[in-house]
Structure 1
């Protein structure tokens, strides 16, 4: 199983009101400078949020959603500190399904 960590908010907030492009550009450069593989994705309307385990987490967030998903828990905590108004959580995927993180 692969652990994925996420920060999620309304698309309007995360994409339009926050400097998301700048934040991710900085983080991408950090990864490149430290020879790390990019292990994060920006996903619009991720399907995993409709799982039963998350039904109480997202009911107050205006739709549509945008999520930043990573295998690096500390990166998601960094996003939470940088952006502030996001919900964070995690989920697991079997290795065979790891390429489709939106499910």
Structure 2
């Protein structure tokens, strides 16, 4: 069982208003330089929001959602400080794609 941590916000906020592409690119380079396996993912329309019953918190967002999911809780906490207007949370699962086990 893995502990996944995430930030979630509107897709347009993460892709247009914040330099998330640059942040993730720099993080990828850092991992490659340190021979570390990538442990984060950028996901559009994250289905785990429905499973975790968080959808009500995001009903007022007119755009579709996007999330950055990671096994590294410190990275997610840093993202929250860096881009502020996001929701953070976590869940446990055997797989990022199978949440009800």
TM-score range, shorter chain: 0.7 to 0.9
**2:97 — aligned with what?**
100
CA distance in 2, matches of 1:17, 1:8: 14
Segments of 5+ residues of structure 1 without an aligned counterpart are: none
1:26-79 deviation per Cα after TM superposition (whole angstroms, max 9, x unaligned)? 111111122211000000000010125424433343430000001110111111
Alignment coverage as a number of residue pairs:
100
CA RMSD, Structure 1 to Structure 2 (Å): 2.0
CA distance in 1, matches of 2:83, 2:10: 12
TM-score by length of 1: 0.85
**1:2 — aligned with what?**
2
Given that 2:4 and 2:96 are in contact with CA atoms closer than 8 Å, whether structure 1 keeps it comes out as: no
**1:29 — aligned with what?**
29
Q: Secondary structure at the match of 1:66?
A: strand
